[in-house]
Chain A
Amino acid sequence: MTDTIFMVFAVMSIASAIAVVTWRNPVHCVLALIASFAGVAGLFYLLSAPFIAVMQIIIYAGAIIVLFLFVIMLLNLKKNEMGGDAPVQDRLFTVFLCVITVIILSIPVVATFTGTFYDQYKKTFPKPDANLGITETIGQEIFSAHALAFELISILIIAALIGAIYLAKKRQRG
């Protein structure tokens, strides 16, 4: 059962990610991106991280994508302003490079997590903990061990806020 759900979410996220990089119209791409994020959020839920899954939807689908849509509608792009794709031979070469990347990265993963060696090693992994991924655990972790990182993130966000306003503001000449 879980395997079927995993496959559904996996296919959903991969297919819509491919749609994002192949479709031309930015609004359609944004919609495919929502589907992709939703698929990944489902996977997060299966990986016993319900809080992160919900946060994924709230932050990405709720804020980031709406920002994308806002900018797309603000610019109201015509066909010749869009950019489009690189030439065909470049794209084919990129696909080739990406396939090679996938193969190279997959080799250690497959080598580590399959076979008799892994079966031996698997016994040393801790048992899944019911408290992993619930709000309380993450909250405690953030505000004890990672409080400094949390404060730094808030500084980063303020800097981004000011930077974005400064960049997007219309400047008077002279």
Chain B
Amino acid sequence: MQINWQLVIDIAKAVIVFFGILTCIPILVYAERKICAYIQDRRGPNRVGPLGLLQPVADAIKSFFKEDYTPSHVDKVLFTLAPAMAFIAPALVFAVIPFGHLMEIKGYKILPQVFDMNIGILFVLMIASLGGYGLILGGWSSNNKYSLLGGLRASAQMLSYEIAMGLAVISIIMTAGSTRMADIVGVQTQGLWGTCIPAWNIITQPIAFIVFLCTAFAETNRLPFDLAEGDSELIGGYHTEYSSMKFAMFFMGEYLAVLTMSALIVTLFLGGWYFPGITEVGNTSLLNGILSIFVFGTKVGMLVFFFIWTRWTLPRFRYDQLMKLGWKILLPLALFNIILTAILGLR
């Protein structure tokens, strides 16, 4: 029987990427706890294992062994479905993110991207638009006024910030002239004005970068935009009624969303796997491929640090301020940026 090795490689890629991002979640949880502690002048976890490194394991075991309690007044089906939706949506985005340069080993092409879609960036927007459902449905199905308020806030927030995000992405599509993720990275590997400064979109599209960064915080539901959760005013917002693994799913979904958004920002604005002097374009050797994955990982790590840093530095917005920022500042700014891009023809 003939084995289709290309198919095997494709399936293996999907499995490896999925388990890879799952492995990143405990690392993120640990990083968040440690960084938060140092920002607040504490030590952070240091009891479980050396330097507290086994703390995420302890957390996981704790949530596994807690009683999975379903309150009697909830909508059972949606109550179970909501955490799953909150978890799956951000994981799906990784299917179209190119996290390395093409490698060629013994004639087999290995592209470090699960699915090279022609409409990759639109696929990302599509999944991002489904991301809010977990929160909204979790809030509604809990049948609790705080949860309902959390869900209501989540839906309005998603709706308003998605528009600004989409408009920021449109100017990126205009720069790249394509909706394929690989082409968007490809444009950024060229030198700017004939120098060695790479034409990363953060340099050519600073306004789009700022708009996208703000909307990324809102879409991942992190401080300063975590109004759906708002623990000081809404107890826990949409996840007030959740316990045990269902709560852990929401929790993991949030970290997964941070990871996804960081990877997306790296791909769209920070040149993806490209760094001048370290990775080369068109070099299909194994070394170059591994280096490119390493560069991508480092950039994502730095952005994740930025996300955590912001969370423990800025206070929460008020709800009317959030709406004002979304509709009156980010939306006109993104529209202005599109016009500017069209006039200047930035390529």
Contact = CB atoms under 8 A, between A and B. Distances in A.
A–B contact via C-beta, under 8 angstroms = yes
**Contact residue range for chain A?**
20 to 34
Interface string B161-184: 010001000000000000100000
B158 A50 contact: no
**Contact residue range for chain B?**
20 to 34
Interface in B122-136: 122-123, 125-126, 128-130, 132-133, 136
B129 A73 contact: no
Contacts of B118: 50, 134-135
Interface stretch (B148-156, B200-208, B308-316): B148-156
Given A27-B78, A73-B139, 5 more contacts: A51-B122, A63-B129, A67-B159, A134-B118, A135-B118
30 contacts: A27-B78, A31-B137, A54-B119, A54-B122, A54-B123, A54-B126, A57-B129, A58-B122, A58-B129, A58-B166, A61-B129, A61-B130, A62-B126, A63-B129, A63-B162, A66-B132, A66-B133, A66-B155, A69-B136, A69-B140, A70-B159, A72-B140, A73-B136, A73-B139, A73-B151, A73-B152, A73-B155, A134-B119, A135-B118, A135-B119
A76 interface: yes
Nearest to A25: B75
A70 B140 CA distance: 10
A70 B155 contact: yes
B interface: dominant SS: helix
A54 B130 CA distance: 12
A72 to B, nearest CB: 8
B261 to A, nearest CB: 17
A62 B119 contact: no
Contact of B156 (A28, A63, A70, A76): A70
